[in-house]
Chain A
Amino acid sequence: MRLDGNAIGGLLGQLFTAEVTDARGSCHGCGAVGALGAQHLYMHPLAPGAVLRCRSCQSVLLVLVLAHGRIRLALRGMTWLDMGDSAVPAVWPSASRGPVLA
Chain B
Amino acid sequence: MARAALQRRLTWRLAEVTQLVAETPRVRSLLLRVPGWPGHRAGQHTDVRLTAEDGYTAERSYSIASAPDAGEQLTLTVERLDEGEVSPYLTEELRIGDQLELRGPIGGYFVWDLELGGPLMLIAGGSGICPLMAMLRRRASASSQVPTRLLYSSRTQEDIIYREELDRLGAAGSGLQVIPTLTRVQPPDWTGHSGRIDQAMLNDVAWSPSDHPLIYVCGPTALVEHVADALVSLGHDPERVKTERFGPSGG
**Given A2-B245, A19-B108, A21-B108, A14:B9 Cβ within 8 A:** yes
Residue of B nearest to A90 (CB): B4
Q: Does B149 contact A (CB under 8 A)?
A: no
Interface residues in A22-58 (C-beta closer than 8 Å to B)? 22-23, 35-38, 45
Q: Does A63 contact B (CB under 8 A)?
A: no
Enumerate chain A residues within 8 angstroms of B251, measured Cβ to Cβ: 45
Q: How large is the interface on A (under 10, 10 to 19, 20 to 34, 35 or more residues)?
A: 20 to 34
**Given A9-B107, A13-B106, A45:B245 Cβ within 8 A:** no
Q: How far is it, in angstroms, between the C-alpha of A89 and the C-alpha of B6 when the chains are bound?
A: 6
Q: How far is it, in angstroms, between the C-alpha of A49 and the C-alpha of B246 when the chains are bound?
A: 17
Q: How far is it, in angstroms, between the C-alpha of A102 and the C-alpha of B4 when the chains are bound?
A: 24
Q: Does B244 contact A (CB under 8 A)?
A: yes
Q: Does B235 contact A (CB under 8 A)?
A: no
A90, B6: Cβ atoms under 8 Å?
yes
A3, B109: Cβ atoms under 8 Å?
no
B9, A16: Cβ atoms under 8 Å?
yes
Enumerate chain B residues within 8 angstroms of A13, measured Cβ to Cβ: 9-10, 103, 106
Q: Does A62 contact B (CB under 8 A)?
A: no
The one of B60, B85, B109 in contact with A38, judged by C-beta atoms closer than 8 angstroms, is: B109
The one of B6, B60, B109 in contact with A22, judged by C-beta atoms closer than 8 angstroms, is: B109
Q: Does A15 contact B (CB under 8 A)?
A: yes
Q: Does A5 contact B (CB under 8 A)?
A: yes
**Given A10-B61, A19-B107, A3:B10 Cβ within 8 A:** no
